[in-house]
Amino acid sequence: MATQAKHANLNYECSDAEWQARLDLAACYRIFDHLGWGESIYNHISVAVPGEADTFLINPFGLMYDEVTASNLVKIDVEGNNVGGSPYMVNKAGFTQHAYFHKVLGERAAAICHVHTTAAMAVCSHEGGLLPTNFYACSFQDQIGYHDFEGVTVRPEEGERLVRNLGNKRVLMLKNHGPVVMGRTIPEIFLTMWSLQRACEIQVATLAMGKPVTVSQDVVDVHQRDLSVMQSQGGAGLFDFEAWKRKVTKLDPSWQQ
């Protein structure tokens, strides 16, 4: 049976597993902020609560990413109910989109992030989407789904179309909007998002110079095979995430509160 404990600034006892999930998620918000991936008080990163059915943690609506801490994350269920007693509300767009993915995809989407970075939004708005023109982009070929823009994601019925367009992929590019990245863990989505952001930044720079050189599918296949072997040594982004966690802790350790 999971150990229950009272942690600072939480008004209920939570399991050690939930507290660790809170720490990882809060650290991820601070890393995103440090990398310039925040969007005022908008956008979201969420993670399912370990050992519980249909509950997840998400950022409080109204706080900047550099204000997020382990204890002020909001715990809600997939129906939108605040089950942790947080005084904060949740952005409806974040709840609608993330809740549907968490509910339907389970462990495959235990962790989710959605961003509005300039480079990622630019690629989402490009007719060809992400092209195999650079090292990072080759990692994502045939691993991205695309979803036509339908406005702000606040209508529950859009959830079915989002999942259908995602298919068996790990990234869903919302056209004219921004990417949604899904994975089994916070470190996994962090590494995926970091790589995707680099791919988009380089594509934007390359297209600005004129006609790009594209990589053949044969080479893409070899690249993805070899890269998957290399990444398996780090536990799907664990080394990367821990390194960036050390970075933000040196700058401001308050995310651990």
Q: 221: Cβ–Cβ under 8 A, 6 or more apart, which residues? A: none
Domain 4-256 matching CATH 3.40.225.10: the answer reads yes
**Pairwise pLDDT comparison (235 vs 179), residue with the higher score:** 179
- The answer to whether 73 and 58 have CB atoms below 8 angstroms apart is yes
pLDDT of residue 13: 83
Instruction: Identify the band that residue 1 occupies on the pLDDT scale cut at 50, 70 and 90.
Output: very low
pLDDT of residue 152: 79
pLDDT of residue 232: 65
pLDDT of residue 81: 83
pLDDT of 165 over the 50 cut = yes
Q: Tell me the per-residue pLDDT of 19-47, one tens digit each, with 9 for 90 and over.
A: 999 999 999 999 999 999 999 999 999 99
Half-sphere exposure of 55 (CA within 13 A, CB side): 17
**Pairwise pLDDT comparison (79 vs 200), residue with the higher score:** 200
The mean of the pLDDT values for the chain is 91
pLDDT of residue 12: 77
**Pairwise pLDDT comparison (197 vs 226), residue with the higher score:** 197
DSSP label at residue 54: S
- Residue ranges of domains in the chain: 4-256
pLDDT of residue 66: 98
pLDDT of residue 70: 96
Percentage of the residues of the chain whose pLDDT score is greater than 70 = 93
What mean pLDDT comes out for the span 199-225? 93
pLDDT of 135 over the 90 cut = yes
pLDDT of residue 139: 94
What mean pLDDT comes out for the span 212-219? 93
Q: 65: Cβ–Cβ under 8 A, 6 or more apart, which residues? A: 29, 30, 32, 33, 37, 38, 59
Single out the residue of 90, 82, 111, 91 nearest to residue 12, CA to CA: 82
Q: Tell me the per-residue pLDDT of 149-158, one tens digit each, with 9 for 90 and over.
A: 988 776 777 8
- The answer to whether 121 and 178 have CB atoms below 8 angstroms apart is yes
Instruction: Identify the band that residue 88 occupies on the pLDDT scale cut at 50, 70 and 90.
Output: confident
What mean pLDDT comes out for the span 146-171? 88
pLDDT of residue 2: 53
